[in-house]
A and B are shown apart, each in its own frame.
Chain A
Amino acid sequence: MAVRKNRDGINKNYYGGMLIVLFGLAVAATATKYGIGSLRDMGSGFFPALVGALLVLTGIAITVQGLGGGGATIHNEKPQWRGWLCILGGIVAFIILGKHTGLLPATFAIVFITAIGDRKNSIKAALVLAVAMSIVAAVVFWWLLQLQFPLLIWNPA
């Protein structure tokens, strides 16, 4: 049976099971490099290889359930690209700005970017929220909790 597709969309168990099988294979294959050893004297790879093998088995079981029609199907929901990109982009911005410019710009960026991901937020509301959280970051985390995170730096490298 190829890709299970009907008018509702694709089967969640089928794809979920496949995902688990692939993950289990990768885990088990990597484990062999760590040395399996024997039951009497286990190597570092023994336990991971065991877990990987079990993952493959459960993955197959889930896939079979999907083939049998078990589990829900994915409906064609509207993707929320704006929301998703803003949440993930906010974290990325926090990491990059945190590394090169310090806590204040990083805080402002993560709050502002995440806020504009919500359609109901205006730019102005997002700005106000970002400024408010930047103050919280400076007062609570940098000053009160003495977080080891410089407020403002400049290291472009």
Chain B
Amino acid sequence: MEASLSGLLYGFGVALEPHNLVWCVFGVVTGNLIGVLPGLGSVAAMAILLPLTYVMHPVAAILMLAGIFYGSMYGGAIGAILLNLPVHPQHAVTCLDGYPLTRKGRGGAALGIAMMASFFAASVGILTMVFASSLLVEAAFKFGPAELCSIMLLGLIAGSTMAGGSATKGIAMTLVGLVLGIVGTDPNTSTMRYTFNLLNLQDGVDLVALAMGLFGVSEFLLHINHMAATDSSLKVAVGDMLPSKEELKKSFFPMLRGTFVGTLFGAMPGTGPTITTFVAYALEKKISKTPGRFGSGAIEGVASPEAAGHSKSQVDFIPTMSLGIPGDPMMALILGALLIQGIQPWPQLITAHPDVFWGLIASFWIGNLLLIVLNVPLIGVWVKLLRVPYRYLVPSAMFFIAVGCFSTQNSLFEVGEVLVFGIVGAILTYLDFSVAPILLGYVLGPIMEENFRRALLLSHGHLAVFVEHPISAGFLVACALLLAVQLFAYILRNRRARKQPYRESVPLEG
């Protein structure tokens, strides 16, 4: 407890160093901008800026990437509320009531509420992180290879089954990611695996090329000539953003409940942000005395999911930083950046790299505060940016992707990789596979293989080691439960489908 507080103070010292502060500011501003711009996802944006961090100090690099991450969430709410444009899927549910509010002329107030809810929820999320960290330090010393392997398995299963869509397909994508992680030189035996005799693949598949191919190029391929032009008659003044007393009163408890939902989901590794916001919205609708108002401009429907999304995204850093289990592709990228900097995300991270951990936590507050200060006067600029046509954005983004890939290794081979992954991503998305778990598998694969081998080496080849250690056994039980729930849901769905044999086709699973 006291250690946490002194750690936090130390963190503020680190985060306020001018050098770190500048990169934090750069990150949140870029994130906010990217979040507003339609068409360019925040994963692609982070991937483009990732090569920049190779030459940076680890603390500054992480502060910047984290800034892009939560900055883009503030920006995403603007498009969702004002234009019914869910730039990021987690804001899709914000559109439901946010846009009707805009049509009623209360769009500014909805934005104001969304920002307040975001800031409040992020603060709660940060506090949770601060206090959970002291528990984690204690648990850290009990983690060996078997425990790490089991918890990663849990993370992978959770990530693939709960990311949305069919669970089986999610698992398949995680496995594909694991294969991509294997490509390159085996650190134990120096065997070249899946390199097709290409020298450039010796160091493995490039993280930036993979992320930009799957989330950038493939999106463009799927949506070219499909993006509708946006309404351009909108104006929001700074004064409009002040919610009325009644609106404030109505959204106070939804904000608390949303924060709670988000914190809960953040502690569960592998649950995506989209499902979190949907659960928060559903909960609000369920306990509301007037559920009929939802969908036609209920301010609660904005406050709760926005709060949930933000507390979730902050708490998400706990499993990512301490256990190496990212909750979504953006977290996987942050994890990748940590690994590139030579920082192993494991329970000892807090004690081994206090500057990174506490600096990051402190920067959350600084960054979130900055976003509020930034968004209020700049709202007019953001609204204008929302109207940048897609037909100018895509070609420019393609250039940034190509140059970003080149800069990772100063070689054109990585640009070729982005082309391949773009096509692969488009085909998979077209076949209703969600590509996010690929990144999870790719980042976790090598660490998991290493610990798997080490655990079995230490136990002389006895698989029982995974169930004999109580912590590891606990994680495996959780894995089994997760799979059992999925199986049960699948059987239940099938039975229901069989009862209605005349239905044309079963709707999308999950």
Contact = CB atoms under 8 A, between A and B. Distances in A.
A58 B175 contact: yes
Given A71-B509, A147-B403, A87 B398 contact: yes
A145 B52 CA distance: 9
Contact of A111 (B175, B398, B509): B398
B390 A47 contact: no
Contacts of A110: 395, 398-399, 402
B3 interface: no
B76 to A, nearest CB: 24
Q: Size band of the A side of the interface?
A: 35 or more
Given A19-B431, A129-B395, A141-B403, A51 B456 contact: no
A91 B506 contact: no
Interface in B369-401: 389-392, 394-396, 398-399
A151 B437 CA distance: 38
Interface residues of B, number: 64
A84 interface: yes
B189 A83 contact: no
Nearest to A30: B194
Interface in A39-92: 39-48, 51-52, 54-55, 58-59, 61-62, 65, 68-74, 80, 82-84, 86-88, 90-92
Interface string A94-106: 1100110000001
B351 interface: no
B358 to A, nearest CB: 30
B188 A83 contact: no
B166 A65 contact: yes
A16 B394 contact: no
A89 to B, nearest CB: 10
Contacts of A5: none
A8 B419 contact: no
B213 to A, nearest CB: 10
A30 B191 CA distance: 13
B223 to A, nearest CB: 9
A118 B394 contact: yes
B193 A34 contact: yes
A62 B168 contact: yes
A58 B177 CA distance: 14
B224 A87 contact: yes
A95 B192 CA distance: 26
A65 B428 CA distance: 17
B391 A72 contact: no
A124 interface: no
Contacts of A45: 193
A59 B402 contact: no
B97 to A, nearest CB: 28
Contacts of A68: 494
Contact of B505 (A24, A72, A82, A106): A72
B169 interface: yes
Nearest to B456: A39
A106 B403 CA distance: 10
A62 B422 CA distance: 23
Interface string B467-480: 00000000000000
Interface string A8-24: 10001101100110011
Given A34-B186, A129-B392, 12 more contacts: A24-B175, A34-B193, A35-B189, A40-B460, A41-B461, A48-B194, A55-B176, A87-B224, A91-B398, A112-B395, A114-B398, A118-B224
